[in-house]
Structure 1
Amino acid sequence: MFVSILASSSKGNATYIESKKEKILVDAGLSAKKIQNALGKIGRSMNDVNHLFVTHEHSDHVRGVGVLARRYPNLLIYANLKTMQVMATKVGEIPADQLIDFEPGQTISIGDIDVESFGVSHDAILPQFYQFHCDNKSFAILTDTGYVSDKIKYQIRNADMFLFESNHDLEMLRMGLYPWPLKQRILSDRGHLSNDESGEALADLIGLETKKIFLGHLSPENNMKPLARITVENILIDDGFAVNHDFEILDTDPENPTDLLEV
């Protein structure tokens, strides 16, 4: 498998995955035009993408789903039924023959990729994220959750590559301009992981196979790439991990895709 994080932040999210047989998007939280432009920067096109997996109905994950579905009639959209129902009120009608029911806890196979779904704790109707398996390699995505349960840790531990939430710095959030109810939501068990929480969770997830960790879903108002990275790195180093020797910690960006990297 090869992966590029097309965009990742609290403003918009999309990830591209390809294997020998399949080309996949996870979320389309940008406009259709921006997604096409991002794919172009890595030498790919929406004309080749045939599957789109939706994690939950928040706009920074589904903004472009409706337009893409209507523009590309061969594109199949995977989500659970509750997410589909709420998403329809935001993105417009999607032809029924393009919608595939994929519930939390299920596994499906598409071509040479097996996809596992798992539920998370986030303030959406029924949020779920995904782990992709191909040729004995795995890529796990987890970018919107208030905490990481033992069940999730068991399921995605030792993935070869992670896209993992590092949403906010606690002090930046507490001292920032967000209204208090929004701060409470972010800090709750149904909100988002802080840099510290990200590092602590990753300490339980990294295994011998883990080689690349993308830090994702950073808040532009409450975080900075260097701060997220050094916080996570320091926690892992304190726990005895050989950061940037046994594995890399990599940045993501709201506007520019990462290189297309092999899992």
Structure 2
Amino acid sequence: MSDDLKISVLASSSSGNVTYIETPKHHVLVDAGMSGKKIKESLASVGKDINTIDSLFVTHEHSDHIKGVGVLARRYDLNVYANKKTWDAMMPKIGKVPEEKINVFEHNKVMTLDDLDIESFAVSHDAADPQFYKFYHNGKEFVILTDTGYVSERVQKTIENADGYLLECNHDVEMLRNGMYPWPLKQRILSEKGHLSNDDGAHTLMDVIGNNTKQIYLGHLSHENNTKKAAHTAVADILEDHDFGVEHDFSIHDTDPAIADPLMTL
């Protein structure tokens, strides 16, 4: 059996988010923003059986991250991890979860599940107490960071030089400004408690990419205010303009609302 850290972004967009992470001893999900049926099908599409999932880490209580949490916890006997304020905010939305499956994991902590270490860190978003995660196994690190209006120096230090990133590129600023959203919603998205734009995502990557970094996934794209091409082009162009070795030192991957990215070994 290989001793690798493997990942697949099963879905990432403003409508639903699920990421699969695998070590020899654990198969875990981060968020469950689709129906249980869709998550089962998405796992099957990358050759994985939902019955092997043992743990689910929740970032915050917005529906595109928790839609399937209750169903998965009840049907597949998963341990679910989130901080106290997130639990309080999402419990009315997900139905009953067996008490023994409710695990409180506060931000800026590190926990260990056998061969998998998980570090939580707080972000700035309009949710009760949003947090994201860095996963460690066998010398490899994978960071998930979406749903934040900005990236603090503390977060930068926490996530720098990871082997892989799933990083938010939510919107193209001009598409958002010229789009159909009402102005208060536009202001929320552009605020420090909103979402990273394509350019923000690129500049965050410039601050955190290191020699270990090999795989970058652009995530949480808005259906209305972004496209895969716009996000990919903006990030690649900005990094190349600053002499980063795009598609030489590391690869940039697009993510999709409905099609899982192939299982990747970091």
Output the CA distance in 2 between the equivalents of 1:239 and 1:15.
30
Deviations along 1:146-202, one digit per CA (max 9) or x if unpaired, are: 000000000000000000000000000000001111100000000000001110111
Pick from 188, 211, 232 the counterpart of residue 229 of structure 1. 232
Output the CA distance in 1 between the equivalents of 2:131 and 2:171.
21
RMSD value, Cα:
0.5
Determine the structure 1 residue equivalent to 2:76.
72
Determine the structure 1 residue equivalent to 2:149.
146
TM-score by length of 2: 0.98
> Secondary structure of the equivalent of 1:57?
coil
Determine the structure 1 residue equivalent to 2:196.
193
Q: Does 1:132 align with 2:131?
A: no
Determine the structure 2 residue equivalent to 1:243.
246
> Secondary structure of the equivalent of 1:61?
helix
**Structure 2 unaligned runs (5+)?**
none
Determine the structure 2 residue equivalent to 1:27.
31
> Secondary structure of the equivalent of 2:124?
coil
Output the CA distance in 2 between the equivalents of 1:113 and 1:67.
24
Determine the structure 1 residue equivalent to 2:57.
53
> Secondary structure of the equivalent of 1:258?
coil
Pairwise CA distance, 1:45:
1.4
Output the CA distance in 2 between the equivalents of 1:201 and 1:139.
15
Pairwise CA distance, 1:24:
0.4
Pairwise CA distance, 1:242:
0.9
Pairwise CA distance, 1:72:
1.5
Q: Does 1:38 align with 2:42?
A: yes
TM-score by length of 1: 0.99
Pick from 2, 5, 21 the counterpart of residue 6 of structure 2. 2
Deviations along 1:99-158, one digit per CA (max 9) or x if unpaired, are: 111000110000201000000000000000000000000000001100000000000000
Q: Does 1:12 align with 2:26?
A: no
Output the CA distance in 2 between the equivalents of 1:177 and 1:242.
36
Q: Which amino acid is the alignment partner of residue 15 of structure 2?
A: K
How many residues align structurally?
262
> Secondary structure of the equivalent of 1:130?
strand
Pick from 115, 119, 126 the counterpart of residue 116 of structure 1. 119
> Secondary structure of the equivalent of 1:164?
strand
Q: Which amino acid is the alignment partner of residue 160 of structure 1?
A: D
Between the aligned residues of both structures, percent identity stands at 55
Output the CA distance in 2 between the equivalents of 1:241 and 1:42.
31
> Secondary structure of the equivalent of 1:181?
helix
Pairwise CA distance, 1:95:
1.1
Spell out structure 1 runs of 4+ moving beyond 6 A.
Answer: none
Deviations along 1:29-57, one digit per CA (max 9) or x if unpaired, are: 00000000000101111100000000000
Determine the structure 2 residue equivalent to 1:217.
220
